[in-house]
Chain A
Amino acid sequence: MSELANIPWNLILPILVLQLILAVVALIDVIRNQRTNGPFIMWIFIILLVNIVGPILYFIFGRKQS
């Protein structure tokens, strides 16, 4: 536990928040329009499991431009 306390959370917190926003926006978009390149379940896992890059990949390659 002492190692956890040693991490300078006040410095890292903004990154975590931004990552969360990115993932949440991507997730909401996947679930709402469900029309993606490839199965949309796969994109949900990519967004949830791959840090930072997952949501970016979804926005670039996954979204179907209507």
Chain B
Amino acid sequence: MSSLNALLHKELRENIRNFKMYWIPIVFVIFGILEPISNHFLPEIMKSVGNLPEGADLVWPEFRGEDIFVSLMGQYQLIGILVIILAFMGSISGERKTGTATLLYVRPMSFSQYFLSKWIVVNAIVLASMWLGFFAAWYYIQILFNSVAAGEVFAFLGTYSLWLVFAVTVVLAFSACMSTGGAAGLSILVLLVFQVIDGILGTYWTVSPWKLSTYASNVFGASDGQSAYWMSVGLTAILIIVLVFFGMYMAKKNAAKTLV
């Protein structure tokens, strides 16, 4: 247990030193603030820079606070996931390449604890950033739109958190499994391209991790298909556990690839 503690400390210190602890929350919060503001002032922005023809009379849809949460989630689905992939694609493969791993692997440490320490710290950073971003958005939504029931917001954020944990686990497992470039490519395929595929062909099935974001936004409306929701949650949890064990196994197997 104490070696897990030491590894956690090492991870924390590393993420402070390479500034990921600072810039990732700031980026999420900036997007969280921008989304309600730009939606609120959209009619005025379009009027001043939109190049609308003379006399054009557009009727803007009346946004509710809930819609802003969903559209912010849409931003995070692309930009947030991209930030997660790019920031953490090298967290294990990069250590193998730069030689940090040599210093680590000569010590008696278990690879499961090594992988777990990374998994815990990265998840903490990502989830804290995401929650901070949504709380910042919530504050602005209260001011600019209507107040949203707290219970719905927490149900929404909880569901979305599970999807982000899945995303982080995918990135780390691929990082343990192959080189940094390969990890980035495959993570983008799994997290972004599959999302699109699921969006297009997804009407044929109801249970998949990629549907979690849709289910999260359903919290705000009439929710139907409760069983499909819980099955997706269960499937995602199982996939996360499988990927964690896969990552531990690959981290150990690829230890020999470390450059000295």
Contact = CB atoms under 8 A, between A and B. Distances in A.
- Do A and B come together as binding partners? yes
Interface of A: 11-12, 14-15, 18-19, 21-22, 25-26, 29, 52, 55-56, 59-60, 63, 65-66
Contacts of A11: 37, 140, 143-144
A18 B29 contact: yes
Consensus secondary structure, chain B interface: helix
Contact of B98 (A14, A52, A65): A65
Contacts of A29: 19
A18 B26 contact: yes
Nearest to B27: A56
Contacts of B86: 60
Given A11-B140, A21-B26, A59 B20 contact: yes
Interface string B1-44: 00000000000000000111011001101100110010000000
B65 interface: no
B90 interface: yes
A66 B90 CA distance: 13
B33 A14 contact: yes
A12 B36 CA distance: 11
B101 interface: no
A60 B87 contact: yes
A18 B30 contact: yes
B19 A25 contact: yes
Consensus secondary structure, chain A interface: helix
B22 A25 contact: yes
10 nearest CB pairs, A to B: A60-B86, A59-B23, A18-B30, A22-B26, A18-B26, A15-B33, A65-B98, A11-B37, A25-B22, A14-B33
26 contacts: A11-B140, A12-B37, A14-B33, A14-B136, A15-B30, A15-B34, A15-B37, A18-B26, A18-B29, A18-B30, A18-B33, A21-B26, A22-B23, A22-B30, A25-B19, A25-B22, A26-B23, A52-B30, A56-B27, A56-B83, A59-B20, A59-B87, A60-B87, A63-B19, A65-B94, A66-B98
Among A12, A26, A59, A66, the one with the most B-chain Cβ atoms within 10 Å of its Cβ is A59
A51 to B, nearest CB: 10
A37 to B, nearest CB: 13
Contacts of B90: 65
Nearest to B23: A59
Contacts of A19: 30
Contacts of B98: 65-66
A22 B143 CA distance: 25
A59 B30 contact: no
A29 B18 CA distance: 9
Nearest to B87: A60
A59 B23 CA distance: 8
Nearest to B30: A18
